[in-house]
Amino acid sequence: MTLRAAAVTFLALLLAGCSTTTSKLPDAMRNRLESEGIVRRDDDETFRVTTGTARRHWEEGRASLVVTHHTVLVHKNERVLLEITAANAARWRVRRDHDRVSIASEGAGARSWSFHPKDGDAEGWARDLRAAMQAAAG
C-alpha cells in the first residue's frame, strides 16, 4: 500500500469514527415511542452521570434522549441507559439549574443524569420531562 493510499484509508477511518451516533433504536422500540407521541428528542447529547450522595462520583458520556407523553428514555443506540415509565416514575425528579437540566433519583442509590440542551431551551425540556413523568406516574 502506498503512502498516499494509507493516508486516504486513515482519513476515511477517522471521518467514519467522527460520525458515530447514539441515536439508532431498534424498530420495535422506535415504533413504541412514536406511538406514545414523541414530544422532544435530542441525539448525541453530552450527559454527566453522577452517582452517590455523600461521596459523589461522576463521569461524562454521549447518549440520546427521547421524551414522549409517557416515557423518558436515555439510550446509546439499542442499549437503554435510563428508562422512566409508570413502573418507576415516582423515584425520579427533574431539576433545572440555569441552562442545565437534571433527571435525578433519590435515596441510597441516588443517581442523576444532567445535560445542557443543545437548543438552549432548558425550561422547555424541564417542563416536558416533568409532564412525561407525571403522566407515567398516573
Is 113 among the domain residues?
A: yes
- Looking at residues 6-17, what average pLDDT do you find? 50
Do the Cβ atoms of 20 and 44 come closer than 8 Å? Answer: no
**Residue 77 included in any domain:** yes
In a domain, 14, yes or no: no
Q: What is the pLDDT of residues 22-68, one digit of tens each?
A: 999 999 999 999 999 999 999 999 999 998 766 678 899 999 999 99
Cα-based distances in Å from 77 to 7, 89, 102:
30, 22, 21
Compute the distance between CA of residue 56 and CA of residue 37 in angstroms, rounded to an integer: 35
Is position 53 within any domain?
yes
Cell of 63: 447518549
* Structural domain includes residue 40: yes
Total number of domains constituting the chain? 1
Q: What pLDDT is attached to residue 53?
A: 65
Is 107 a member of any domain? yes
Please give the pLDDT value at position 54: 62
Is 12 a domain residue? no
What is the span of the domain harbouring residue 82?
A: 21-137
Which grid coordinates are listed for 58? 461522576
Q: What is the pTM of this model?
A: 0.82
- Which backbone phi and psi does 65 adopt, to 5 degrees? -130, 130
